[in-house]
Each structure stands twice: as structure tokens, then as C-alpha cells.
Amino acid sequence: MNVRNRWILLLAAPMAVALTLAAACGGTSSTDKTATAAAGGAGTTPTSTQTGGLPADAAPASQQKITMQSTEPQFYDPHRSNFEQDIAVERMLFRGLYNLTDDGSGGVKVVPGDAAGPPTISGNVYTVKLKSGLKWSDGKALTAADYVYGFQRECDPTVASPYQYVLGAGLGDLKGCDELFNNKDATKTQALKDALGVKALDASTLEFTLNRPVATFETIWSLWATFPSRQDVIQKFGDKWTDPGNIVVNGPFTMSELVPKDHVTLKPNPEWSGQKPAIQQLTIKFIDDLSAALKSFQTGELQMTAIQPTDVKVVKGDPSLSSELVIDPTARITAIEMQLKDPALAKFDVRLALSRAIDRKTLVDVVFDGVYTPATYWVVKGLKGFQGNSAFDSTIGFDKAAAQAAMASAGYPNGQGFPTLKLTLTDTPSNRNLADFLIKQWKDNLGITVTPDFVDGKTRSQRFNSGNFQLFPGGWQLDYPDIENPLVGLFDTGGGNNKYNCSDPAIDAAFKEATNATTEAARIAAYQKVETLVVTKLCGVAPIYQNAVPYLVNAKVGGVVPNGTIDASGPGTYCVECWYVKK
């Protein structure tokens, strides 16, 4: 992309404005949100910068143990991850120069992490001072050189980070990052690393050279892609550097045990200089089956778990469980992602038929008990530039006759001669219901056969990242609340998270318009054009609903403040050091 020339960006000031997502989340009204936000331990907005003592109602240290549910991460390396279950744990283990946290009214604000304060800016050069006394979990001093190595890894093609693009042209615009990432000549690698726009001026001073001023610098520099790395540890252990006993971290917790396919156990990092965690042991159980997780919550084995939307009515009717329900309205869109390298799915009319054959409202009502919101849009409600269903329903929304006509136009009248496709999902009761509904819709409305391919959560991540899928219910959870976030890197040719291989000249041209926009209105309009092209061309995605995530949080767990924009795999996970067990 060309260098962006933006004058105004969302996070320059309005970052503190709350996203109005509650009304977008099906059965979760604003009243529901107010009631359920107080469930479990939700309360005063946490701040990861405070270092004071425990709350007055905290139980003794010996009782500060929590077990929670999550899908199993694929990686524990922040420079390799793009799934929220990975990112949730990585933010417990690592932190960057800046953090995103709740602003006290449901919005998001940026606060210093390892940085002593905001950057000093001189043109395209941003200088960041580190706080004094920072240490890694093994007691070694954390220095500016560790951040330099982390940025080198993020831009290194051999690491192959799916989030490198956030430091590339049009977003972070770190000088030399794209050149290093796209380099194919090993003889040039070291020179490109040396030329990268990040330098350690001394042990506590970082200098970043960008291609242009970036108003969202502190926001982008809060993402896991910018976390520091220990060169000596990674060079010694290679891919096993994240194993317990090898891993060295700079966040509030460290890893004490990892049992694949079962659990990971975290304990406080004694060298962490931020708010000291009250929790002395956090066990994360890898449970994909949310019905089983609900039973484990009821028996006391789990103190926090996601539940199926279809269980919300049952939970609300239970005098005990209802007070522990948290419905976290999320900035997440779910779609049927379609592999465009597949010969059948490469045909637009096939994708159009698949999309128009889905009755989204009935899907949400039947499969998710109305907790979600039907969607044909990709940019979620609450973002500036939101276009909504009215912009896309008539083009890709449910219309059986139009779906059949599109399939016939593709050369498969009544589904005749159409190959069998696979639908890849995590194996959970909810997803089995989703698969049954979608497969029946496609069979009844198009006459085609789609078979389910149920896998565990880790395998699902691997399948997506390798492009080894045909149909894949997936989507996007915002990393930060700006219209660029659910678009850049997902639909531009060669984008780091563009695993469905969307490549369209008109879409790429619209991205360039956004890159070159000189006003905020022009930038938003250009990204709306990107969304319109992506959705109407079904370029790898057919949106089906906007999510809300229901959780149960034990009443004795405190300090949990949900924020659907920055939560990952659980409410309040952006500040796990704020959690505690009550007396």
C-alpha cells in the first residue's frame, strides 16, 4: 500500500467513547447488560497500573485459586498468534509498551505498560522511555534491546506472524517492516533487520522511525504483535521456548504447567512490576464442549466459563445461576468463510447461492435462542462507518429463489453435479446444532450436500491458518475500535489474516484510497467501500450474525469487568491481575 496521510484517527481523542454494542446483540438489551455486568465479580473498572493492596473483601492467599474454561491455544508465542484463546493467555504472560483497558464507562482507553509515558514525537520519529526496574520472570533486566528483538521477530518472514501487517504500510508504518517481511533473499536478512525502524538508544530508551506520523501509535503498540522477546531464550530452545521451564515472560503471570489437550496453569510472576495479582493459581481448562463446562461450573470445578446461548434462558430461570450470568456484548462478527482456491467456491455464483440460502433470523432464533443478531454486514455495529443489514440484505441476504437461480447460473441447476463440500467446526453441541441447521438449509434450498468436519479447537486454528478448509464458520473480533481493524490484513491481497485468499483489484484500490485519505470522512468512506466490495462480492466471507458471549462467573470471583471490545476468551481478561477470590 501507499503511505497513508491521515489527519484524524479515532483514537486521537474519541477512544474513550463507549461502543454501543448492547443493542446489537440479539436478546441482550441494555437492561440485561446492566444487570449481568454486576454478576460474579464485576464492579469498579480495573487499572493494571495500580500497585496497592488487596481489596478488603479478598480471601486469604491460600484461597486465591481460580479455574476457568477456554479453547486450547495453538501458540503461546505472541508473534505467531491470531486466535483469541492464544491472545488471552499471552496477555496474561506478556505485556507491551502500552495496554488497552476499560475506561470506566464501557469504552476503551490506552494506558502505559512498560513505557514510562507517551512517546516524544519529532516528525516521524517516536521516542519511548521504559519504566525503571523492569525485569523478566527469571530476574534478568528487561531492556530496550528486548523490544528491538521482539519487533525484529514480528517483521521476520521466518516467524511468519499473521499480524505483521499491523506494523506495515497503512497502519503502524514501521520503517522497513514490510521490506523485511517480504524479503526472499536470505543474504539480505541481516541488513534489513539492521535497517528496521526500531533502535535501542540505551538500555531504557527506544527510538521508532515510522514512514509517517501515526496518530494511533500507542494503540497499535499495545497489541501482542509488539511485545518484547528474549533472544537468548528463543535461540537456546527454538520452538520449545514457550514450554514450561523454558518460557521467560514479563507479564503478571508465568506458566508453571502445560498439559496439552487438558490445561495450562499460571502462577504470579514475582518480577512483575505492575499491580500484583491476588490470584495465586490460575488454571485454564481446555474445554470445547460448553454443556460439559456448564456442568463443571455447577459442581464447582470451574469458577468461570462460557456457556451456550441456548442455555441462557435456563440459567436466567435458576435462582443461583442467574446472579452469576455475564452477557458480554462483543465486537465480533461471524461469517461462513470460504476458501477461494477451491474450484467450486472460486465461482461467485456458488458463493452467492450459499449465502442467499441461509435464513439468518431463523438461524439465530433456533440455534442461538435469539442471543445473537442476524447480520449481512461485516463491520460491526458500534464502529464509526457501520452500514448495517440494510446495505446488504437485498444483495446477499436470504432469498431462496435467488439462491437457486445463482446455483443454476454457476452450472449446477437444483444442485446437480455439485461436489460435496466440508464444513469445518469445533466439536461442540452448539456447533453441531449450527452445522445441522446450515447443512439442512443448503440441502433443502439448493439440493447440495455439505458434510460436517468436527475437530478440536487447536486443530481448527491450524486448519484455518494453513488454508486447509472449504467452508469455515469463523469471523473477526476487534483488536481495537476502528473501522480499519476488521478490514486491513483480512481482505487486501496477501494480507496476514487473509487465509481465504481474497484478491480483488477493486478492493485493493479501495484500500489505497483509505491509505491516501487526507480527511477522516474520506478515510471512513473508503473503508465503507472496502466493506461493500467485500460483502457484495463475498470475497471469502458471507456474514451471518454478530455475537454476544454469555459467561458464568462464580459469585466469589471479584475484579472481573467485562469489555467486549478488548476481552478475549473470557470477561475481563484484559486485566487478569485485577481478579481475586472473595472471602
Q: How far is CA 192 from the centre of its chain?
A: 29
259's CB contacts (< 8 A; 6+ apart) are none
Residues 109 and 216 in one domain: yes
DSSP SS3 for 490: coil
Whether 396 and 378 have beta carbons less than 8 Å apart is answered as: no
CA nearest neighbour of 100 among 222, 221, 253:
222
Residues 577 and 530 in one domain: no
Residues 486 and 574 in one domain: no
Locate 39 and state its grid cell.
454478576
- On whether residue 307 sits in a domain, the answer given is no
Locate 434 and state its grid cell.
449450527
Distance CA 152, CA 146 (A): 10
Residues 205 and 228 in one domain: yes
Q: What is the mean pLDDT of each run of 10 residues along the chain (583 residues)?
A: 27 31 27 32 44 81 97 97 95 97 87 98 98 98 98 97 94 97 95 97 98 93 98 98 98 98 98 96 96 96 95 93 89 96 98 98 94 95 91 98 98 98 94 97 98 95 96 93 94 96 98 92 96 98 94 97 90 96 97
CATH at 104 = 3.90.76.10
- On whether residue 391 sits in a domain, the answer given is yes
Query: What's the longest Cα–Cα distance across the chain?
Result: 69
- On whether residue 298 sits in a domain, the answer given is no
pLDDT of residue 328: 78
Residues 347 and 453 in one domain: yes
Locate 373 and state its grid cell.
443478531
Residues 571 and 449 in one domain: no
Locate 393 and state its grid cell.
440484505
Cell 469471523, located at residue: 475
Q: Which amino acid appears at position 158 of this protein? A: T
Q: Which helix (H) or strand (E) holds 64?
A: none
Q: Which helix (H) or strand (E) holds 303?
A: none
- Rg of the chain taking only CA atoms, in angstroms: 23
Residues 543 and 559 in one domain: no
Whether 96 and 87 have beta carbons less than 8 Å apart is answered as: no
Distance CA 107, CA 11 (A): 11
CATH at 430 = 3.10.105.10
Structural domain containing residue 189? 38-254+554-581
Residues 138 and 247 in one domain: yes
pLDDT of residue 107: 81
- On whether residue 407 sits in a domain, the answer given is yes
Residues 382 and 518 in one domain: yes
Distance CA 356, CA 107 (A): 35
Whether 476 and 486 have beta carbons less than 8 Å apart is answered as: yes
Backbone angles phi, psi at 315, to 5 degrees: -65, -45
Residues 497 and 562 in one domain: no
- On whether residue 566 sits in a domain, the answer given is yes
* Degrees to nearest 5, angle at CA 89 with 88 and 91: 70
Whether 475 and 60 have beta carbons less than 8 Å apart is answered as: no
Residues 67 and 133 in one domain: yes
Q: What is the count of structural domains for the chain?
A: 2
pLDDT of residue 32: 30
- On whether residue 325 sits in a domain, the answer given is no
Long-range Cβ contact pairs of 294-301 (< 8 A, separation 24 or more): 294/552, 296/69, 297/69, 297/552, 297/554, 301/67
Residues 464 and 479 in one domain: yes
pLDDT of residue 9: 32
Under DSSP, the state recorded for 203 is T
